[in-house]
Chain A
């Protein structure tokens, strides 16, 4: 390309050097970006490396099927904690998903109302509350009155942690649904609620499901809120009004112990946790892909 200005005072070489300088700057930026990506990924890689190295070896059938052995005895497993974690996150979903979705629908349908803004602000604040505070809240609300740790309290605490994520993802994804779809439904004689539940919400569903699964994966790794709520349990229990074991609390307990066998099992538990979270993410991806087949070409 020609320079738009008339060439003067040997501008040619200057342009050349400018081009060279530009290339150098570009190169530096590229390298810098690469280094930053590596720095960001390095901890993840290290965590995965250690967890797999220490944890995978400690896994055996007993780990999945047995309950913890008393102090001093070797062996035992975290079977009850695995089931407990699944029950706890199930309870959390049961609590957070319906409320979160409906609140999200409200926020997207009534944008700009004073109440909507208040709800949105509350959700954002709730999202920022430390999980331990949530745990204490559930402790005060559920555990203290009945004077017993329970899975319900734990699931509630986890659900409360999930709630703002579900609310906001639902809202955001509903807002991404093209307004044309709503118009299309209304023009066919649908009422507003009909349009939301038969067209708009289904259109946003794949994304909302991802949000829910990501939120589940996040709370599955929570320990702090469970310490005050579902606490721990050495025995098999599926009674949600009783204390319940969970992988995170079990790992927390074992990792703090002086016993080598417990520490080994803590690694295995950590490994399993990572795997559960990974599995949730993969399930989220697969589910979304299936659902999206209707949404995209």
Chain B
């Protein structure tokens, strides 16, 4: 198991938003987190790279292990963790820099100065993110000039450049048109050959299309976690059935 979660609770101040989550994410597979708004799926995915640390008075209790190491143990190097656990956000967030500088950002703050190495990694990352062909002639143009779908793929390339093992995607296609969405989904299927992917999505069809495993969250609890086929064809819990058939939401 790449990620191992046991009895994980999460609090915003006095409000408990995640209740005893138990979940194992297998390596090199896509695990989808679904559930209605406010069910805790985003909070959960942001716990895996400790992005929630930014929020004052937010704290997690319990165990989240990445490769067998508790990431909430005291003395954990959060910066190192985030370089192993990349993240792509709902709203594409390219920096107001050139395409090249965006992809090279993670490398540069990691101390890479060698121009050759930078250029090679940028090209490789853009290729992996299926963006290279579209931008190779304008690497030094502003990333802000790209379309929404290209920006999102740029953000994926940027995350891949630091060579993470896990890729967290928080509704990566929810702001994109159908064609751009399809491209991202295709990309996810390709990336799972090399990366462990956890994706939060509001779009149940998307979860059904891209994931191997699906976890259904509801009111801060993990209701059901199983093979995606089981969740979408024959879920065991009534709540899951009601959610995937649109009776609830």
Contact = CB atoms under 8 A, between A and B. Distances in A.
**Are A and B in contact, CB atoms below 8 Å, in the complex?**
yes
Contact of A189 (B82, B96, B155): B82
B80 A189 contact: yes
A180 B90 CA distance: 9
A188 B83 contact: yes
Nearest to A180: B93
Interface string A100-113: 00000000000000
Contacts of B98: 294
Interface string B23-67: 000000000000000000000000001010010000000000000
Contacts of B109: 188-190, 194, 198
B173 to A, nearest CB: 16
A187 B95 contact: no
Interface residues of A, number: 23
Given A187-B82, A189-B80, A189-B110, A296 B142 contact: yes
A200 to B, nearest CB: 9
Between B54, B96, B159, the greatest number of chain A beta carbons within 10 A of the residue's beta carbon is seen for: B96
A181 interface: yes
Band of interface residues on B:
20 to 34
B230 to A, nearest CB: 32
Given A296-B142, A297-B142, A297-B145, A181 B95 contact: yes
A184 B162 contact: no
A24 to B, nearest CB: 45
Interface in B150-165: 155, 158-159, 162
Contacts of A190: 79, 105, 109
B79 A189 contact: yes
Contacts of B105: 185, 188, 190, 198-199
B91 A180 contact: yes
A295 interface: yes
Contacts of A90: none
B144 interface: yes
Contact of B51 (A181, A187, A199): A187
Given A189-B80, A294-B142, 15 more contacts: A181-B95, A185-B95, A186-B51, A186-B54, A188-B106, A189-B162, A190-B105, A190-B109, A194-B109, A198-B105, A199-B95, A202-B96, A203-B95, A295-B142, A296-B142
10 contacts: A178-B91, A182-B54, A183-B51, A184-B89, A184-B155, A185-B95, A186-B82, A187-B49, A188-B86, A188-B158
8 closest residue pairs by CB, A with B:
A180-B93, A188-B106, A187-B87, A189-B83, A295-B96, A184-B93, A297-B145, A294-B142
Interface of B: 49, 51, 54, 79-80, 82-83, 86-87, 89, 91, 93-98, 105-106, 109-110, 142, 144-145, 155, 158-159, 162
